[in-house]
Amino acid sequence: MGLYRLLLSFLLLALPSGVFASSLETERSDASALFDGGLPLAGISDGETRDANADFLRQMKEVLSTGAWDGPSPQIRHFMFKNAGEGWTAQAQSVGLEGFLWTKKELEGKYGAAAFSGQLNDYFLYLDGLLKPTAWTGELRAALSDLKNSQLPAAEKNARLNAMLENYVTGLQANMEKYDGAAWAKKARIYELFPRAYNLDGRRSASGFKSPSDPARTLFFRDFQSSDFDVIKRMGFDAVWPMGILPIGVRGQTGTGGGSPYSISDHGTVNPDLGTEEDFKNFVKKAHQAGLKVIVDFVVNHTSLDSKLLAESPDYFVSFRSDSPCPRDGYFESYWNGGKYCVHHGGFEYGNGVSSWIDTAQINYSNRVLRDRMTATVKGWVTKFDVDGFRVDMAYLALNNVFSRTWKKSMPHEEFFRQLIWTVKAAKPSAAFMAEAYAYQEDLGACGFDTIYSKQEDARPEGQTGWYNSTEAGGAYQIQSALNRAAFLAWQTGGAGSVMFIGNHDEPAPEKIYGRRLPAALALTLLYPGSVMMYSGAEIGYDAAVPTESKPLPFSAPCEVNWSGGDPQVKKIYQDVLALSAKLRSELGDYDIEPLWPAPGQAWAGYILKSKDHPGLRRAVIGNVTWNGTRAEVPQAGFSGSLEPGEYRILNLK
């Protein structure tokens, strides 16, 4: 790693004092050029280069985002900014340099640097603790120490600190673009579809659909053609997630629709009802030819009651051998090598106990052999099928702290996900991991996840910052806080990005949740520059929910999307917003966003879209996702008016 140390010494120690005041943009460019990591490492083989690159990538993620962790425990916590005059604190957006710098600049921009001047020494102590575990940051630590001990006035010292960190972060972010093959996931526009309900023939003709029991129906993966991918691509998506493609167990199967796609009998192959393995390989090839990535499910927490994994060993599960009847609450009987085992149903913490899915069996992540078995299985999806990413179902349930507390197990020191993610990325560096998670987002990011659902995130001081839950509830402050959080997550490169959505296979149809607020919620979501997701059928307002299941495409009953049906008004909303998104993306190219903060008493939310491909080109989107009308004033766009619930505006900035 000596090369990186040398480059950083040029970046940090050769900055004359005038740089900070007069040529920051030039120095940013120079920083990126110097700190490019592009030169080969001398004296190591290709395999060792890949390992060194992976190590360097992990270290950059720690410096920029997560800080160092010891197994399941963070070694440094978020910096807390204190406005002594007003008596409040604000937590940095992340533990690392990106979160510290973003929050510092945001607060100083709003309240002035003088409001936080009493923390100058705290800044240096925090930065030294963050950087100390990573050897190649030694030059930065030395430069920071020199600045701290200088006789400069506090205001100038703080300004130089900001400029130094901006240069350094810019250089690291440029390096992330070269090293992080999975960075595509943080901007992915994902189209989720449910293969057994997708109704290819109906979509092609929009003139009805065949019964799921029709013996003449074709196999989904064999029948899906390039033209079908083109339909998805034309809507503006660049990734497809065929949800529920793994074989479904028969024992304990619930409902009449073919069983839950998350009661899995074999994690390593495709459901034969959808096609052969060769059919799926061709599906992936056609998707790639159409310019689409392919994401598949990894159901981490459980299997079906009759899974291949359970047949291999009950020790892979939360179980015990017993000659007595199994407890009625949460267990089922399974037989192996002539003995009876009581196996717990898959479950999750609920209140002071465990709530179970009765058609599943709980995998045991305290078992090291099981961890290796699952890692090899997931790796097989990239080596055999060349998939591009994994949506990990209920990901946080397999974290050490959560699993140990739920199942009263002693765990290996290291997190399973670190083993899994970096093993798979060694086989395919561009492979991405998306977590379905409603808690412990920080832990999952530190394990190496590339993106995380933005639904429920209430562990931060500002309260709920999950996009779905904030917009669902319709509270102005929560929506504005969620957008601010989302803007940071779209800008940063070292940590997990955000996946924004207003519907998926688990949630009721968006028009049910948002009602007349739908247009604004959809516009603010689909114009987000980070990852966004939409569920098939939503674009026509199709909803086949049944009384016992609110999903728009239920698992418990037979259903197929009627592409000639749906709701015409909802369809028009989606057509308009999808067209708007395509138009603005074409005009702006790649862009960042900057949150807009409404004046007191105004309940709208919005952000500025700032083109990176065309400097100076900017647009703004504002919308009202609350339940009541609101006054809206955006002086920088010359806009003053009102917004009814669901109303949104695209504004040209002066």
Q: Is residue 50 very low, low, confident or very high in pLDDT (cuts 50, 70, 90)? A: low
| Tokens coding 518 | 């739908």
pLDDT at position 590: 96
pLDDT at position 48: 52
User: In sequence order, what are the beta bridge partners of 89?
Assistant: 82
User: In sequence order, what are the beta bridge partners of 610?
Assistant: 592, 618
User: In sequence order, what are the beta bridge partners of 391?
Assistant: 297, 434
Catalogue all structural domains in the chain, each as residue range(s) with its CATH number: 2-179 (no CATH), 183-298+365-587 (3.20.20.80), 591-652 (2.60.40)
φ/ψ (deg, to 5) at 175: -65, -35
User: In sequence order, what are the beta bridge partners of 606?
Assistant: 596, 622
Helix (H, G, I), strand (E, B) or coil at 382: helix
pLDDT at position 267: 98
pLDDT in tens, 259-308: 999 999 999 999 999 999 999 999 999 999 999 999 999 999 999 999 99
More confident residue, 26 or 363: 363
CB 276 within 8 A of CB 301: no
| Tokens coding 323 | 């000659």
Phi-psi region of 337 (alpha: psi -120 to 50; beta: other; left: phi over 0): left
CB 606 within 8 A of CB 587: no
User: In sequence order, what are the beta bridge partners of 433?
Assistant: 390
Helix (H, G, I), strand (E, B) or coil at 193: strand
The conformation of residue 367, written as its DSSP 8-state character, comes to -
Across residues 426-448, what is the average pLDDT?
A: 97
Order of all β-strands in the sheet with 339-344: 319-321, 339-344, 331-336
pLDDT at position 370: 98
For residue 295, give the nearest of 389, 182, 427, 188 by alpha carbon.
389
Q: Which helix (H) or strand (E) holds 605?
A: strand 605-611
| Tokens coding 56 | 């360097």
Checking if the pLDDT of 33 tops 80, the result is no
Which residues contact residue 109 at a Cβ distance below 8 angstroms, ignoring those fewer than 6 apart? Answer: none
Across residues 432-444, what is the average pLDDT?
A: 97
Lowest mean pLDDT, pick from 91-105, 348-362, 561-575: 348-362
C-alpha triplet 308, 309, 315: angle, nearest 5°:
145
Q: E strands within 125-243?
A: 189-193, 239-242
Q: Is residue 649 very low, low, confident or very high in pLDDT (cuts 50, 70, 90)? A: very high
Across residues 640-647, what is the average pLDDT?
A: 97
CA distances 652 to 619, 621, 622, 631, Å, are 5, 9, 11, 19
Q: E strands within 508-555?
A: 531-535
- Quote the CA–CA distance of 458 and 461 in Å, as a whole number: 8
For residue 520, give the nearest of 470, 586, 462, 455 by alpha carbon.
470
For residue 313, give the nearest of 245, 345, 263, 361 by alpha carbon.
361
CB 415 within 8 A of CB 399: yes
The conformation of residue 450, written as its DSSP 8-state character, comes to S
More confident residue, 25 or 407: 407
CA 62 to chain centre: 17
Across residues 585-597, what is the average pLDDT?
A: 96
Q: Is residue 331 very low, low, confident or very high in pLDDT (cuts 50, 70, 90)? A: very high
pLDDT at position 53: 87
CB 478 within 8 A of CB 511: no
C-alpha triplet 454, 457, 459: angle, nearest 5°:
155
pLDDT at position 595: 96
For residue 75, give the nearest of 121, 122, 126 by alpha carbon.
126
CA distances 154 to 114, 158, 422, 642, Å, are 9, 6, 43, 44
The conformation of residue 94, written as its DSSP 8-state character, comes to S
CB 162 within 8 A of CB 104: yes
- Quote the CA–CA distance of 478 and 484 in Å, as a whole number: 10
The conformation of residue 641, written as its DSSP 8-state character, comes to E
pLDDT in tens, 526-579: 999 999 999 999 999 999 999 999 999 999 999 999 999 999 999 999 999 999
Q: Is residue 51 very low, low, confident or very high in pLDDT (cuts 50, 70, 90)? A: confident
pLDDT at position 146: 96
pLDDT at position 79: 98
pLDDT at position 352: 84
Which residues contact residue 185 at a Cβ distance below 8 angstroms, ignoring those fewer than 6 apart? Answer: 389, 432, 433, 434, 450, 451, 497, 531
Report the mean per-residue pLDDT for the chain.
91
pLDDT at position 2: 36
C-alpha triplet 389, 391, 395: angle, nearest 5°:
130
Length of the chain: 654
CB 342 within 8 A of CB 305: no
- Cβ atoms within 10 Å of 282's Cβ, excluding its own: 15
- Quote the CA–CA distance of 316 and 220 in Å, as a whole number: 32
Place of tokens 């806080």: 481
CA distances 242 to 90, 187, 283, 539, 645, Å, are 40, 19, 10, 16, 33
AA identity, residue 318? V
pLDDT at position 218: 67
pLDDT at position 202: 86
pLDDT at position 27: 38
CB 648 within 8 A of CB 524: yes
Q: Is 454 exposed, middle or buried (0-12, 13-18, 19+ CB in 10 A)?
A: buried
Q: Is residue 201 very low, low, confident or very high in pLDDT (cuts 50, 70, 90)? A: confident
Helices and strands per DSSP (H, E), number in the chain: 23, 25
pLDDT in tens, 125-148: 999 999 999 999 999 999 999 999
Checking if the pLDDT of 112 tops 90, the result is yes
- Cβ atoms within 10 Å of 329's Cβ, excluding its own: 10
Query: Concatenated DSSP letters for 241-297?
Result: EE---SPBP-TT--SSSS--TTSBS-TTS--TTT--HHHHHHHHHHHHHTT-EEEEE
pLDDT at position 482: 97
CB 592 within 8 A of CB 612: yes
| Tokens coding 136 | 């190649």
